[in-house]
Each structure stands twice: as C-alpha cells, then as structure tokens.
Chains A and B, each alone.
Chain A
Amino acid sequence: AQRVTQPEKLLSVFKGAPVELKCNYSYSGSPELFWYVQYSRQRLQLLLRHISRESIKGFTADLNKGETSFHLKKPFAQEEDSAMYYCALKPTGGGNKLTFGTGTQLKVEL
C-alpha cells in the first residue's frame, strides 16, 4: 500500500522568503508524484508533476527516490501563493487512483 505524508498542516512565511513544502511517500514500486493546489474558493488543480521536471509559477519539485521525498520549493514567496497544497502519488498503471497527503496550508504574509 502507498502512503503520502505532509508533516506540516500550516506553513507561514513572509513575502519574498523561500518556501519549502515537505512531502514524503512510501511505495514499493516507481510512483508518479504530483503537487495539487487549491486556492480559496477554487477547485483542486494540478500544479506540477515530477515527470515533467518543469517550473510552474516559480515552483519546482524534485523526486528524491533515496529519501522518498518530493518537496515543493519556491525561492521567493508571493502573496498569491497562499493556498492549500496537496502532494499526491499515483502508482504504476494506477489510472486516476491518486493517494493524497493531508495537505499543507501555505500562508504568505506581507
């Protein structure tokens, strides 16, 4: 069985400060990892996936198989980054079956 752990329920940073949202996973195979974001009063939407190795809205995430981590990082936080962030894992051949963490609320203060 797979599991996703996000140790922080709330992360508060000042505007311009670096951000790191932690995500650790357990899965015996080769998973696909995602970060989803939910802005206030909006639906859950994909932020980025590890296979794309892209930067979205200044966010990046690197899959570290040795540490089974997929932390989300941004060098300079912006006020509009305030949202709920969920790390999710999809097992090999898992279709739409995503296992989500409990989420981290990011609050960017001025």
Chain B
Amino acid sequence: ETGVTQSPTHLIKTRGQQVTLRCSSQSGHNTVSWYQQALGQGPQFIFQYYREEENGRGNFPPRFSGLQFPNYSSELNVNALELDDSALYLCASRNRGGRTEAFFGQGTRLTVV
C-alpha cells in the first residue's frame, strides 16, 4: 500500500460542467503531480506542485488548475469540461530531495457526456 489515495474512483459529468478531483498524498511527500491517461495511451503530465505552488506544467490549457494543501492533500480542477477530458486522472507524490520514487494513486475515472 503506497498511501496515495484518490477520490472519487469514478465520476460522470456533463459537458460544460466543472469537476474537482482529490488526492491524499503520503505523509512527508511535498511534491505532487497530476497525469491524464486517455484510453490506450500512457499517462500525460498535467502539472506539478511543490510546497503549494505550481512548479511545472505540461501542454494543458488554463482550465486545468490545481491546489496543494499543507496537509499533503491536493486537488485537480477542470472547468468547462469537454468530451475529450474523459480519461483516468492519476496523481503521484514524492518527497523532493533524496532518492525516492513517485508513488501513484489508483486514479479517478472521469466520463464526460
């Protein structure tokens, strides 16, 4: 058990709506990153947060935003949902500094209809 949990596990939203996905990181993990995994594809990097500030972003529009909290939890927010946003969303956390791997959560399956 890695200690990284995501909620909810499944979610269905309507196009145009907004969604918030949550991730609870392992204690002491001060870096969290979010990935989008479309069907049949590898995970794609969305952004990374370190000490509650965005610290790197992939090729995703501004309607994808995030927050990281002092209690090692974080959120991914997506506004104005589009059908193509349907995917598995993964969070991964690690302790920046030292030799530690990134631990992945089990993911949230988002379906936009």
How many residue pairs at the A-B interface have CB separations less than 8 Å? 60
Complex CA–CA separation, A101 to B41 (angstroms): 8
Q: Known contacts A95-B48, A95-B96, A96-B31; is A46 also within 8 Å of B41 by CB?
A: no
CA distance A99 to B56 in the complex (A): 13
B110 within 8 A of A: no
Does A97 lie at the interface of the complex (its beta carbon under 8 Å from any beta carbon of B)? yes
B56, A103: Cβ atoms closer than 8 Å: no
- Specify which chain A residues have a CB less than 8 angstroms from the CB of B102 in the assembled complex: 46, 96, 98
**Chain B positions 87-111 with a Cβ under 8 Å from a chain A Cβ:** 90, 92-94, 96, 101-107
Name B101's contact: one of A46, A95, A97, A100 (CB within 8 Å): A46
Contact A97 B48 (CB under 8 A): yes
Q: Does chain B have a CB within 8 A of A25?
A: no
Residue of B nearest to A6 (CB): B42
Which residue in chain A gives the minimum CB-CB distance to B96? A95
Residues of B within 8 A of A44 (CB): 43, 90, 104
Residues of A within 8 Å of B107, CB to CB, are 43
B55 near A95 with CB under 8 A, answer yes
Decide: A98 near B2, CB < 8 A? Known: A43-B107, A46-B102.
no
State which size class the interface on B falls in: 20 to 34
Instruction: Check B40–A96 contact: CB distance below 8 A.
Output: no
Q: Is the CB of A86 within 8 A of B42?
A: yes
Q: Cα distance A76–B22 when bound, in Å?
A: 40
Given contacts A43-B106, A46-B101, contact A100 B44 (CB under 8 A): yes
Question: B58 within 8 Å of A by Cβ?
Answer: yes
A contact residues around B42 at 8 Å (CB): 4, 6, 86, 88, 100-103
B73 contacts A by Cβ under 8 Å: no
Residues of B near A88 (CB, < 8 A) are 42
Residues of chain A whose beta carbon lies under 8 Å from any beta carbon of chain B: 4, 6, 43-46, 49, 86, 88, 94-103
